């Protein structure tokens, strides 16, 4: 089998019980295809970091399969380490190195001696070029985060894991970062993103898995997750104040101002047609209707809610 026939990540029956006895991963099955932009979401403590740390070879699994392009993350550690770049949440570094020295040293870990062109490109792309000779300890939080990203990509890994890469990062840097990562992905590489910013996952990821209590509770293309969300927000503009709505509509009401009423509708329980019929019974005329598409946040809340 060649590398391109294999999924980038192959996980089967993966379990992790910590010594405390806590079961962080309770049997996870997951294939991530080469070239995907994949989102790994879940509430705090769901097991995302455990899964990533197992892939990175930092945490030992209790049982199950974890492979990167067909190579086992423990038995073929040296190989999988080359194939994977992980952008961690925290920077572990010697503060006396300059940015350039640090990236050189990281290249050395991967046996790359002539990596200057790529290091220059990375620093330029991540807006670090004018900090190349600055000591790491003198960098701002945002700058350190860019160094972390450069560090993870220094060996041009075909699979990159971004673990909460934009937590506490300003909007401008986020945009630049995403442009760069999108391009990295467009060149055929696999990107796995964990984030608390659901809008970010919604914008970037093609497929999304939702982990909860160590299990995958949803795994699908983003569009399918969104269309499965049963909530819709309906904004209705009347020609004048519609007055009393009646108990059925009152129940769905989430906002009101002058001639506008906003309803939150669960399409499964309240068929849209029935809601519209009730609205037409009101003494005011409907001037405008706006149905808002569900957002990933709605789908996420829906899915987690159903599992409880």
List interacting residues with ligand ATP (CB under 6 A). 18, 20, 22, 24, 42, 44-50
Cβ pair 5, 45 in contact under 8 A: no
Extract the tokens encoding 122: 């990375």
Nearer to ligand ATP, 90 or 244 (CB): 90
Q: Could you give the CA distance from residue 145 to residue 151 in angstroms, rounded to a whole number?
A: 10
Q: Could you give the CA distance from residue 219 to residue 39 in angstroms, rounded to a whole number?
A: 10
Nearer to ligand ATP, 14 or 159 (CB): 14
Nearer to ligand ATP, 82 or 213 (CB): 213
Smallest separation (angstroms) from ligand ATP to the CB of 78: 24
Nearer to ligand ATP, 46 or 153 (CB): 46
The Cα angle at residue 277 between residues 274 and 282, in degrees rounded to 5: 135
Smallest separation (angstroms) from ligand ATP to the CB of 89: 8
Extract the tokens encoding 217: 């509770």
Q: Which residues contact 225 (CB under 8 A, 6 or more apart)?
A: 208, 218, 296, 299, 303
- Measured CA to CA in angstroms, residue 51 lies from 10, 142, 259 at distances of 12, 26, 50
Q: 41 in helix, strand or coil?
A: strand
Extract the tokens encoding 251: 């129940």
Q: Could you give the CA distance from residue 9 to residue 30 in angstroms, rounded to a whole number?
A: 8
Smallest separation (angstroms) from ligand ATP to the CB of 246: 43
Smallest separation (angstroms) from ligand ATP to the CB of 21: 9
Smallest separation (angstroms) from ligand ATP to the CB of 220: 19
Smallest separation (angstroms) from ligand ATP to the CB of 22: 5
Smallest separation (angstroms) from ligand ATP to the CB of 74: 17
Nearer to ligand ATP, 49 or 115 (CB): 49
Nearer to ligand ATP, 66 or 119 (CB): 66
125's enclosing H/E stretch is helix 116-125
Nearer to ligand ATP, 45 or 70 (CB): 45
What is the radius of gyration, based on Cα positions, of the chain? 24
Q: Could you give the CA distance from residue 149 to residue 153 in angstroms, rounded to a whole number?
A: 6
């Amino acid at each position: 089998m060649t590398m391109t026939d294999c999924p980038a990540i192959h996980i089967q029956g993966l379990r992790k019980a910590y010594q405390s006895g806590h079961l962080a991963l309770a049997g996870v099955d997951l294939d991530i295809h080469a070239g995907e932009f994949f989102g790994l979401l879940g509430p705090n403590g769901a097991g995302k970091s455990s899964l990533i740390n197992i892939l990175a070879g930092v945490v030992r699994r209790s049982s199950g399969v974890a492979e990167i392009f067909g190579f086992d993350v423990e038995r073929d550690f040296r190989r999988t380490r080359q194939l994977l770049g992980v952008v961690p949440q925290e920077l572990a570094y010697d503060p006396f190195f300059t940015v350039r020295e640090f990236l050189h040293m990281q290249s050395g870990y991967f046996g790359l001696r002539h990596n200057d062109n790529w290091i220059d490109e990375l620093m330029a792309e991540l807006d670090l070029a004018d900090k190349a000779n600055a000591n790491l300890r003198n960098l701002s939080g945002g700058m350190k985060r860019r160094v972390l990203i450069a560090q993870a990509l220094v060996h041009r890994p075909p699979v990159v894991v971004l673990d909460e890469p934009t937590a506490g990062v300003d909007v401008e840097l986020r945009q630049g970062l995403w442009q760069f990562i999108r391009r990295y992905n467009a060149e055929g590489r696999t990107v796995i993103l964990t984030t608390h910013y659901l809008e970010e996952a919604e914008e970037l990821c093609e497929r999304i898995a939702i982990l909860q209590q160590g299990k995958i509770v949803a795994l699908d293309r983003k569009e399918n997750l969104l269309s499965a969300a049963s909530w819709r927000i309906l904004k209705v503009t009347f020609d004048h104040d519609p007055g009393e709505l009646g108990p059925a509509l009152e129940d769905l009401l989430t906002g009101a101002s002058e001639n506008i009423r906003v309803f939150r509708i669960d399409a499964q329980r309240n068929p849209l047609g029935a809601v519209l019929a009730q609205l037409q019974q009101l003494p005011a005329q409907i001037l405008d209707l706006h149905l808002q598409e569900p957002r990933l946040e709605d789908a996420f809340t829906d899915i987690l809610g159903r599992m409880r």
